[in-house]
Structure 1
Amino acid sequence: MKKLTITLAILLTTAVFAAAQTLPSFQFGVKGGVNLSQFSTSGTFNSDNRAGYLAGFWARIGALGLNLQPELYYTSKEATFNSAANETSKVTINSIDFPVLVGLKFGALGIGGRINTGPLASFIIDKNQSFGTAASNAVTLHFKDQAYAWQFGAGLDIMKLSVDLRYELGLTNLANNGYDQKLNLFNVSLAYRLF
């Protein structure tokens, strides 16, 4: 009798986990977080990490443990450039970002993990630069109005809350002036599922 009870408990638990992954679902929510940005550059500049932020919306459509997660958020990305002459310059880029991630989800009963990856289109709406005195007379960085990146990440869902950690690899050269500058960043976000 004891073996039968244990066997039935294992089968029931397995069935619950399997059903949670196979049922079609649609979720929608809000998110906010922080990022650490750094330009990968070639030439006479190097870049240091700076903190920025993001805020926006996400949706998740899934079944069979797979999901598609489009997002739309406003983000501020900052980086500091150091020239060979020890001049420090700060760049802030504000953009509307649109990642479309494909992922795997595992877990059940409101608790689960996710891994995801996918492309991101970034539409730059504002670019601010502050240069040291010598650099401001010699250099003005000209950035493109859109950029593309690839995101890799993992997340944890607990009921209606989610925490995500992602790395964003810049694919587009942002500079219009001959310098090779790609923006890479880490971001951590907290999300709340509305439905």
Structure 2
Amino acid sequence: MKKLLLSLSILLGTSYLASAQLIPNAQFGLKAGVNLSSFSTNSTFSSDKRAGYLGGVYARIGGLGFNFQPELYVTGKNLTIKDGTNENKAKFTSLDVPLLLGTKVGAFGFGGRFYAGPLVSFNINEDQSLGQGLSDAVTFKDYKKQNFAAVVGAGVDIRDFSVDLRYEAGLTKQKYNDGNSSIRVSLFTLSVAYKLFSL
């Protein structure tokens, strides 16, 4: 009898672990976090890292052991640029759209995720409002004027909460100082997400 119960428990546990990874599912939620900006220039300027923020929404669609995670959030990127004794502060605000592909390990509401993918960043400034940035993101308007990055990261899921740590490597340069200078932005991001519902 004990062997039968043990065999049944192993069979059910294995079946659950397999189905948790293979059965298609989807979830939607909110996320917020902080970033630490790292700026690379090809000039004699040096740059200090400063904290920024992000806040928005995410979706995760999974099945067959993989998941696709598109996100949409507003992010603020800050820096201090030093040129000898002079010190200037610059701020970038953008609407970011990462499109991440990854895999997950674990079950029973707990697990780890690994992912990578591209990110497109739509600038929001005095000439472009959040609504205009959102419109550009949906229609992919003027994509040549936007900034692109590559994202790699890992996350931990604990029931309805997720904690993510990622690195965003800037691929294009962003203009600052009235368009007279440009820099490539890279970020370390730590965020917390809350699942609102799942299907």
Q: What residue ranges of structure 2 are gaps of 5+ in the alignment?
A: 127-143
1:42 matched residue in structure 2? 42
Whether the 8 Å CA contact 1:125–1:145 is kept in 2: the answer is no
Shift of 1:38: 1.5
Shift of 1:10: 2.5
1:137 matched residue in structure 2? none
Shift of 1:43: 0.9
Shift of 1:180: 5.7
Q: What residue ranges of structure 1 are gaps of 5+ in the alignment?
A: 128-143
Shift of 1:145: 5.3
1:6 matched residue in structure 2? 6
Shift of 1:126: 2.1
CA distance in 2, matches of 1:56, 1:114: 20
Q: Do structure 1's residue 55 and structure 2's residue 55 form an aligned pair?
A: yes
Equivalenced residue count is 178
Q: Do structure 1's residue 161 and structure 2's residue 166 form an aligned pair?
A: no
2:125 matched residue in structure 1? 126
- Greater Cα offset, 102-111 or 68-77: 102-111
Runs ≥4 residues deviating over 3 A: 1-8, 175-180
Whether the 8 Å CA contact 1:151–1:169 is kept in 2: the answer is yes
Shift of 1:46: 1.2
RMSD (Å) for aligned C-alpha atoms: 1.9
1:106 matched residue in structure 2? 105
CA distance in 2, matches of 1:82, 1:7: 67
CA distance in 2, matches of 1:5, 1:19: 21
CA distance in 2, matches of 1:179, 1:76: 19
2:95 matched residue in structure 1? 96
Report the AA paired with residue 49 of structure 1: K
Shift of 1:12: 2.1
Aligned to 1:109, the other structure's residue is in SS state coil
Report the AA paired with residue 170 of structure 1: G
CA distance in 2, matches of 1:50, 1:7: 55
1:187 matched residue in structure 2? 189
Q: Share of identical aligned residues, percent?
A: 53
Aligned to 1:103, the other structure's residue is in SS state strand
Report the AA paired with residue 172 of structure 1: T
2:170 matched residue in structure 1? 170
Shift of 1:2: 4.2
